[in-house]
Structure 1
Amino acid sequence: MGTLLILVAVIAFIVLATARFKLHPFLTLLLAAFLLSLLSGLPLADTAKNISNGFGGILGYIGLVIVLGTIIGVILEKSGAAITMAETVIRILGPRFPTLTVSIIGYIVSIPVFCDSGYVILNSLKQSLANRMRVSSVAMSVALATGLYATHTFVPPTPGPIAAAGNLGLESSLGLVIGVGVLVSAFAAMAGLVWANRFKNELPDGEGAEELLEKAEEFEEMKQSYGALPSTFNAFAPIFVPIILICLGSVASFPTLPLGDGHTYEILNFLGQPLNALLIGLFLSVRLIKGKNKLEVFSEHIAAGLVSAAPILLITGAGGAFGAVIKATDVGSYLGMTLSGLGIGIFMPFIVSAALKSAQGSSTVALVTTSALVAPMLGDIGLGSEMGRVLTVMAIGAGAMTVSHANDSFFWVVTQFSKMSVPQAYRAQTMATLVQGVTGIAVVYVLTLILL
């Protein structure tokens, strides 16, 4: 019981340090690992060792995957591939379902590109469509934001879900995580779309709302700034080829060996390893780079990707360190047995993740911290199987979107670019993320009844 109280106090420290004092999550999680180790009475000689092993262990499994996925996202963003993806969806769906169109665009683009960046890139396209189709820009903004948000919290190679999968020992099962993530995120995106459609007749009431009528011209200017846009195949290939390879590798590695154990299995198993698959995606992304100095531009994009990946790597590693210390204490088994008696099962990681998300704002921090926290207790609450751990990642992802409000940078990106006032954004965007999160955990719960 004493160790449990210490853990609660350390979690309170994480929330207070990140939310109130704005301390960087990397340092916060690292300090939390030291505090938990010292206060729990673990041997002093083992403290640094446990933390170092936890930090290096998680990054050894998943660090390079995060780096490669981030670099691919940067190249897709800088090359105009995201615009090509968006225009492809518009060509397929046409102008009949404007909010559905931007939701699907966001859903696809946010798999490789961070949701904040994705919204900035697609904002003028969204507003151009709203003006042309005479649809409320509030509804269009929420539809785009919730589409982006759905895959951001559920589908690898987005860093948050990858880090959570690594903490739960699923680094070799990312294909399964992707497959289940696509399903759960589709329901979350649809829930966000339904909520967005409630605002079809509402105009933005924030400062500068009248400027939105000029956005149609801005989109054409932005599109021209990219020069010749990539082809549809070249735009989609760097992200969808690796995802397909990872999924094929997972199928080939099923215990029943559906593709046999010969050369086909060996090739698909090799290509389906997340690191190998994303390396292929990185090479495919080179085709998106224009101009004579392709190698130089490619190096610049790699440098930008490393800068973007660095904070995520540090937070992920610190989360792994925190998780290693939790595993070294007896709190995991104690909590597992206690929670098992309560019968809340899959709802426990959702509640913890939602509390952390709402308190400190970062979905990635919520995913990393919660996955490190619950990893030692999954066996005791009946989620220790491979599918149980996959569904735990989904439950944590659902919590990590519940809710986006004033302490979340994405909330301000949506609010400022859509010219909504803060009260309007709370009604439209924040409530949409609540609906998404609740829908997500409901779908995950149904899946536990079917699959576990």
Structure 2
Amino acid sequence: MDTLLPFAVCLVLITLASVRYHLPPFLTLTGAAVLFGVLSGMPVDVFMPAVTAGAGRIFAILGIVIFAGVVIAQVLRESGRIEDIVADIRKVARHPLYTAGIAGYLLSVPLMCGITSFVILAPIVSHLRSERAAATTLLFVTGVAGIISYVLLYPSPVIHTVVTTLGLYPGEPWRVDLFTLPISLLLLSALLLFWRSRIPAGEAPEQRSGGGIAVRTWLPLIVLFLMLGIGFIVPPLRGLSNIYIALLAALFVALIDVPADVRERALARGTKNAGIIIFDLTGAGAFGGVIAASTFPSDVAALVAGHLPGLLLPFVIAALLQAAQGSRVVTAAVTATVLSTTGLVPELHPAALVLMIAAGAFMFSYVSDPFFWLLKRTTGEGFETVVRRYTLPLSIAGVVTLAAALLVEAALG
């Protein structure tokens, strides 16, 4: 049990540094990695290689994914095509609530960042209804819907990190969506049905006129999913389904299809934003690496075994990490790294394992979660309202996802 107290101290300090001093995750997580190594009694020549190796592993997994997704998002924003995408969704969805939810759900995965997709959607979604109360509700729906798909669907960084780190579904990572997609659609439907009757009556602002859906507007996203689909369906072309190749192709299409000034602005701003996100995630890799190199996995397994069923270990670790530092990708990276050193992975059905980690990533999205504060600033609502409309729905989604994981394990494990 020698590593449990240092782990708890690190979680408290990460939360304090994030909430009280607003330090970037790269500093807090890398600092926590070093501190954990010292407090656990690990020699420097043992824990520092684990820190750097963990950081490098996450960069290898997510570097291309994050860069491509964030720059594509910036291209769509700079070119004004996000407005066109929302307008196209509105032609199909009709009701502003459905437009907001579907837009958030659809865009967070290909743009590879739930926060990025919300930031570029918020100015558009907030004008789908003229009344402030209704517009605020639409913003919360957009945010929660985006997190649902971001946490559950491959190839989002959350699921991609888990599947890659744990070696699940080798060569066919998309198979995890056969389990996660229905659950995400169920959660999205429940969210929209709950708020459907609570949107205050009123007239929506006039919708822009136009003909059919413009394929050019959706071209980067079409290229991404077309390549993934062809690679899955046609065995000789399986290489196209490699997420790195598909995302790079979508990125090049996005850059080529816009004027030079838009391309330059998108690259400059997108590279800056991607760099910040990537550095933060390598900090998570550093923290996960040193934890995995210690006796923490066996210590926490022994602790859980005395109080909870062992199969809940992935959920417990993920929920604790999510509460401590707020980033869902960090939660996925650290949890998967820790679990990779245990004997639990081969004992659980792959889909059940993924769902348990995803369930933990939904839980306790509170003050340590940067999205919590972003929603508070964007909506102008009070603390209690953000908890009720963001933290609570996501925690409910976590409980539902955990229940689904247990059902999958009971039926197929």
TM-score (norm 2): 0.83
Supply the AA of the counterpart residue of 1:411: F
CA distance in 1, matches of 2:277, 2:126: 31
Change (3 A) 1:164 1:434: same
Q: CA deviation at 1:432?
A: 2.4
Q: CA deviation at 1:166?
A: 4.0
Once the two structures are superposed, residues 264-317 of structure 1 have per-residue CA deviations (whole angstroms, 9 ceiling, x without a partner) of 53422x21212111111112223541x3x3xx5424323322211212222222
8 Å Cα contact 2:153-2:180 kept in structure 1: yes
Supply the AA of the counterpart residue of 2:30: L
Supply the AA of the counterpart residue of 2:149: T
Change (3 A) 1:123 1:308: closer
Supply the AA of the counterpart residue of 2:221: I
1:368 aligns with 2:333: yes
CA distance in 2, matches of 1:130, 1:199: 13
1:444 aligns with 2:405: yes
CA distance in 1, matches of 2:382, 2:286: 40
Supply the AA of the counterpart residue of 1:186: L
8 Å Cα contact 2:62-2:157 kept in structure 1: no
Supply the AA of the counterpart residue of 1:399: G
Q: CA deviation at 1:108?
A: 0.7
CA distance in 2, matches of 1:351, 1:282: 37
Match of 1:99 in 2: 97
Q: 1:239 aligns with which of 202, 221, 224?
A: 221
1:354 aligns with 2:322: no
1:318 aligns with 2:287: no
Greater shift, 335-344 or 11-20, is seen at 335-344
Query: What is the RMSD of the two structures over their aligned residues, measured on CA atoms?
Result: 3.6
Q: 2:166 aligns with which of 148, 165, 168?
A: 168
Q: 2:390 aligns with which of 425, 429, 436?
A: 429
Match of 2:195 in 1: 196
Q: 1:384 aligns with which of 346, 360, 381?
A: 346
Match of 1:208 in 2: none
8 Å Cα contact 1:10-1:32 kept in structure 2: yes
1:399 aligns with 2:360: yes
8 Å Cα contact 1:30-1:318 kept in structure 2: yes
8 Å Cα contact 2:102-2:145 kept in structure 1: yes
CA distance in 2, matches of 1:424, 1:73: 29
1:130 aligns with 2:129: yes
8 Å Cα contact 1:140-1:196 kept in structure 2: no
Supply the AA of the counterpart residue of 1:103: G
Q: CA deviation at 1:107?
A: 0.7
- 5 Å matches for 1:13-24? 13-24=13-24
Match of 2:10 in 1: 10
Supply the AA of the counterpart residue of 2:248: L
8 Å Cα contact 2:162-2:354 kept in structure 1: yes
CA distance in 1, matches of 2:237, 2:248: 15
8 Å Cα contact 2:101-2:141 kept in structure 1: yes
8 Å Cα contact 2:127-2:135 kept in structure 1: no
8 Å Cα contact 1:242-1:277 kept in structure 2: yes
Once the two structures are superposed, residues 76-100 of structure 1 have per-residue CA deviations (whole angstroms, 9 ceiling, x without a partner) of 23223322322222222334xx423
Match of 1:265 in 2: 235
Q: CA deviation at 1:104?
A: 1.3
Change (3 A) 1:230 1:324: farther
CA distance in 1, matches of 2:43, 2:390: 47
Q: CA deviation at 1:176?
A: 3.2
1:66 aligns with 2:82: no
CA distance in 2, matches of 1:248, 1:333: 42
Match of 2:38 in 1: 38
CA distance in 2, matches of 1:418, 1:63: 31
Supply the AA of the counterpart residue of 2:114: C
Say which SS state the counterpart of residue 130 (structure 1) adopts. coil
8 Å Cα contact 1:107-1:148 kept in structure 2: yes
8 Å Cα contact 1:245-1:277 kept in structure 2: yes
8 Å Cα contact 1:126-1:141 kept in structure 2: yes
CA distance in 2, matches of 1:83, 1:102: 12
Percent sequence identity over matched residues? 26
Q: CA deviation at 1:153?
A: 2.4
Supply the AA of the counterpart residue of 1:121: I
CA distance in 2, matches of 1:323, 1:14: 14
Say which SS state the counterpart of residue 192 (structure 1) adopts. helix
Unaligned runs of 5+ in 1: 204-212, 253-263
- 5 Å matches for 1:174-213? 174-197=173-196, 199-201=198-200
CA distance in 2, matches of 1:65, 1:37: 29
Q: CA deviation at 1:36?
A: 2.7
